[in-house]
Amino acid sequence: MASRFLSNFSFSLVLNLLVKLFWVFQIEVTVQNVLGTEAYGRYFEAFQFAYIFFILLDLGISNYNNRTVAGDASKLTSLFPSMLALKLILGLVYIAFLAGAAQVMSYDAEAQRLILFVGVNQALMSLMLFLRSNVSGLHLYKTDAVLSVLDRLVMGLICAAMLFLPWLDSFSIDHFLWAQFIGYATAVLLAFVTLFNKGIQPKLVFKFSLLKDILHKSYTFALLFFLMGLYTRVDSVMLGRLLENGEFETGLYASAFRILDAAIIFTVLLSNLLLPMFSRFLAKGEDPAPLVRESYRVVLVVATILPLATWFFSDELYALMYKHNQEAGGPLFGFLMLNFIPMAFGYIFGTLLTAKGEMKLLNLISVGGLALNLALNFWLIPKHGAMGATAATILTQSLVTISTIYFTCRFFKLGIYDFLSIRVISFVVSSIGVFYLVAKLEWSLWPSLVLAGLGAAAMSLLFRVFNWRELLDMIRLGKGSSSTT
């Protein structure tokens, strides 16, 4: 069972990384280069505005459904019609809410049209996530992995055809949005076909009692998702609303943010791996501390090497990707990528608190993070634009992560030496030294990155930052124990 789990996780990780890298570096970067900073900034603000309210599309349904179906697959047949009806109703509520919110925020007619178009695509994506929760609940993990990247693959191929083949005079944001619509619709259709082949009929039956039960069991998760969405996404909206050149500053911020957003997929997938394991350890009364320490050290290596690479070579990397605003974009990119450090560690420790059921605490921390982020953005954005929003984001995420780590250490009796040992400090300091020395050589970009990256990786081995064998043994133990119930 453990080997099967690791195989499925590896398959999903590789598939997501390949398609995500293709989407981010070949499609999104090219789209922004073609459209220009301001036009893309207009789209990005609309996207972030719509994403903030994404929770209205779900309200914890997918999480509830996944846990219920995974526990007893026979419930899928009776549960699916009611769940599907509820998802469609929430989709309509979400679109109506977006329309009203855009009016309240005084967006012009074109911005409102973009917000609604993005909202329709978000509703399709939410429906796809719900259908995937049924597929994974039936333990069709590799099918779910394919569905998880199919939308991006389809929309990426469509965009590539329009961007790189000489049959379209100009590429607009509408082309980009229609490609997304087709990608999500394709994934939804294939998910329906998969479930239909398993005997699930797409009927519609609305039950208010089911919505009440879902909200009762999942509202804390839904609230946490909403609060995290606010303090991690509201900066782009505030850039557009607080500045006269808001579209330009938002586009500049988007160019740096997309790389951070792509990089964080590593820790998202790792947290998805750790959540059931932490839950199993706690349910059986076992100490999760050894797994926390090893997971932390794995993340430490990535959270050291990646920000160092983007800090020391920010100008070169930014110029490699973007044609416009390289002088301003390079420093912003290097600064914003520092946020990967608190974000990556926040996923690890936040996942453990989630497994412990400390949702009220996590929501209180998020409320504090939101208040701080809003205050910092109102203060810094008018003075420093995108760089001010970046500073606000890093400060907010750092304090949220520090709070999360503090309570994790308090609950599980972890000490500072568990995370700041001599080995860890030596690895971080030596890695900084490696990147600094390589940057001083002033070689071309790729030889410098390879040499510095290999040097830092060698430091992790030299100081034995983590033990792969011990980590894999704990993973096998966690999944093995879960497979016996």
Digits of tens for pLDDT over the chain (485 positions)? 445 555 556 666 677 778 888 888 889 999 999 999 999 999 999 999 999 998 888 877 776 666 666 556 666 677 778 888 888 888 999 999 999 999 999 899 999 999 999 999 999 999 998 888 788 777 777 788 888 889 999 999 999 999 887 666 788 999 999 999 999 999 999 998 988 887 776 677 767 776 677 777 777 777 888 888 888 889 999 999 999 999 999 999 999 998 898 888 878 878 877 877 787 788 888 888 888 888 888 889 999 999 999 999 999 999 999 988 888 899 999 999 999 999 999 988 998 998 888 889 999 999 999 999 999 999 999 999 999 999 999 999 999 999 999 999 988 888 877 788 888 899 999 999 999 999 999 899 999 999 999 999 999 888 888 766 655 565 555 554 443 33
- CB contact burial 442-475 (16+ within 10 A = b; e otherwise): eeeeeebbebbbebbeebbeebebbeeeebeebb
Q: Decide if 52 contacts 97 (C-beta within 8 A).
A: no
Q: Is 167 helix (H, G, I), strand (E, B) or coil?
A: coil
Please report the DSSP string for 413-474 in residue order.
Answer: T--GGGTS-HHHHHHHHHHHHHHHHHHHHT--HHHHHHHHHHHHHHHHHHTT---HHHHHHH
pLDDT at 8: 59
DSSP 165: S
Phi, psi of 307 (to 5 degrees): -65, -35
> What pTM was computed for the model?
0.84
Separation of alpha carbons 54 and 65, rounded Å: 18
First to last CA, the chain: 12
* The residue to which tokens 């990005």 are assigned: 44
| 265, two tokens | 């997929």
Could you report the per-residue pLDDT of 49-66, keeping only the tens digit for each? 999 998 888 877 776 666
Separation of alpha carbons 192 and 85, rounded Å: 14
pLDDT at 1: 42
* The residue to which tokens 């990556």 are assigned: 344
pLDDT at 4: 53
Q: Decide if 274 contacts 287 (C-beta within 8 A).
A: no
Could you report the per-residue pLDDT of 258-282, keeping only the tens digit for each? 889 888 887 887 887 787 778 778 8
pLDDT at 123: 95
Q: What angle do CA 154, 160, 166 make, to 5 degrees?
A: 140
pLDDT at 79: 76
pLDDT at 485: 33
Q: What angle do CA 159, 186, 230 make, to 5 degrees?
A: 75
